[in-house]
Amino acid sequence: MHTTSLFAGQNLIRLDVSDNPMTAEVAPALAACLAQQPNLRFLNLNDTSLTDEGVEVICEALASNAPLLEELELALNEVGPRAQPCLCLQLAPRRLS
Protein backbone atom coordinates (compact mmCIF):
# COMPACT_ATOMS: atom_id res chain seq x y z
CA MET A 1 0.00 0.00 0.00
CA HIS A 2 1.39 3.37 -0.98
CA THR A 3 0.80 5.65 1.98
CA THR A 4 2.97 8.64 1.05
CA SER A 5 0.05 10.54 -0.47
CA LEU A 6 -2.09 10.09 2.62
CA PHE A 7 0.64 11.62 4.77
CA ALA A 8 0.97 14.65 2.46
CA GLY A 9 -1.74 16.76 4.10
CA GLN A 10 -4.46 16.82 6.69
CA ASN A 11 -7.43 17.76 4.54
CA LEU A 12 -8.75 14.33 3.61
CA ILE A 13 -12.52 14.25 4.17
CA ARG A 14 -13.54 11.01 2.45
CA LEU A 15 -11.57 7.81 1.86
CA ASP A 16 -12.98 4.83 0.02
CA VAL A 17 -10.72 1.79 -0.20
CA SER A 18 -13.57 -0.70 -0.49
CA ASP A 19 -13.08 -3.88 -2.51
CA ASN A 20 -9.30 -3.77 -2.01
CA PRO A 21 -8.02 -6.81 -0.14
CA MET A 22 -6.06 -5.83 2.95
CA THR A 23 -4.69 -7.93 5.71
CA ALA A 24 -3.79 -7.38 9.32
CA GLU A 25 -0.30 -6.51 8.10
CA VAL A 26 -1.63 -3.52 6.14
CA ALA A 27 -3.91 -2.22 8.90
CA PRO A 28 -1.12 -0.56 10.97
CA ALA A 29 0.08 1.41 7.93
CA LEU A 30 -3.47 2.51 7.13
CA ALA A 31 -4.05 3.40 10.79
CA ALA A 32 -0.90 5.54 10.82
CA CYS A 33 -2.17 7.40 7.76
CA LEU A 34 -5.63 7.86 9.24
CA ALA A 35 -4.10 9.22 12.44
CA GLN A 36 -2.80 12.14 10.36
CA GLN A 37 -6.26 13.02 9.00
CA PRO A 38 -8.21 14.96 11.65
CA ASN A 39 -10.77 16.19 9.09
CA LEU A 40 -11.81 12.71 7.96
CA ARG A 41 -15.60 12.36 7.94
CA PHE A 42 -16.27 9.23 5.85
CA LEU A 43 -14.27 6.01 5.71
CA ASN A 44 -15.34 3.07 3.56
CA LEU A 45 -13.52 -0.16 4.36
CA ASN A 46 -16.19 -2.48 2.97
CA ASP A 47 -14.96 -5.80 1.62
CA THR A 48 -11.28 -5.23 2.44
CA SER A 49 -10.71 -8.60 4.15
CA LEU A 50 -10.00 -6.92 7.50
CA THR A 51 -10.18 -9.13 10.56
CA ASP A 52 -10.68 -8.28 14.22
CA GLU A 53 -7.01 -7.44 14.64
CA GLY A 54 -6.97 -4.97 11.77
CA VAL A 55 -10.24 -3.33 12.80
CA GLU A 56 -8.95 -2.87 16.36
CA VAL A 57 -5.80 -1.08 15.13
CA ILE A 58 -7.80 1.18 12.83
CA CYS A 59 -10.40 1.95 15.52
CA GLU A 60 -7.69 2.98 17.95
CA ALA A 61 -6.28 5.44 15.41
CA LEU A 62 -9.70 6.85 14.58
CA ALA A 63 -10.83 7.19 18.18
CA SER A 64 -8.03 9.53 19.12
CA ASN A 65 -7.33 11.27 15.80
CA ALA A 66 -10.51 11.62 13.75
CA PRO A 67 -12.93 13.69 15.84
CA LEU A 68 -15.14 14.59 12.86
CA LEU A 69 -15.71 11.02 11.64
CA GLU A 70 -19.39 10.54 10.81
CA GLU A 71 -19.49 7.32 8.82
CA LEU A 72 -17.46 4.13 9.02
CA GLU A 73 -18.32 1.27 6.68
CA LEU A 74 -17.02 -2.22 7.48
CA ALA A 75 -19.44 -4.53 5.68
CA LEU A 76 -18.23 -7.83 4.21
CA ASN A 77 -15.15 -8.12 6.43
CA GLU A 78 -14.20 -10.82 8.90
CA VAL A 79 -15.14 -8.77 11.97
CA GLY A 80 -16.17 -10.90 14.90
CA PRO A 81 -16.72 -10.63 18.62
CA ARG A 82 -13.14 -9.61 19.42
CA ALA A 83 -13.41 -6.27 17.58
CA GLN A 84 -16.91 -5.41 18.75
CA PRO A 85 -15.90 -3.91 22.12
CA CYS A 86 -13.35 -1.69 20.39
CA LEU A 87 -15.94 -0.48 17.92
CA CYS A 88 -18.52 0.15 20.61
CA LEU A 89 -16.31 1.83 23.18
CA GLN A 90 -14.22 4.00 20.90
CA LEU A 91 -16.58 4.93 18.11
CA ALA A 92 -20.15 4.74 19.42
CA PRO A 93 -20.04 8.11 21.21
CA ARG A 94 -19.69 9.74 17.77
CA ARG A 95 -23.10 8.44 16.69
CA LEU A 96 -21.82 7.11 13.40
CA SER A 97 -24.27 6.28 10.66
What's the rounded mean pLDDT across residues 50-55? 94
Mean pLDDT of the region 75-82:
92
Percent of the chain with pLDDT strictly greater than 70:
84
Q: What is the pTM of this model?
A: 0.84
Q: Quote the CA–CA distance of 20 and 52 in Å, as a whole number.
A: 17
Averaged pLDDT of the chain: 86
| CA dihedral over 35, 39, 45, 51, signed as positive or negative | positive
Domains observed in the chain: 13-94 (3.80.10.10)
Dihedral Cα 39, 41, 47, 52, nearest 10 deg: 70
Q: pLDDT tens, 18-45?
A: 999 987 789 999 999 999 999 999 999 9
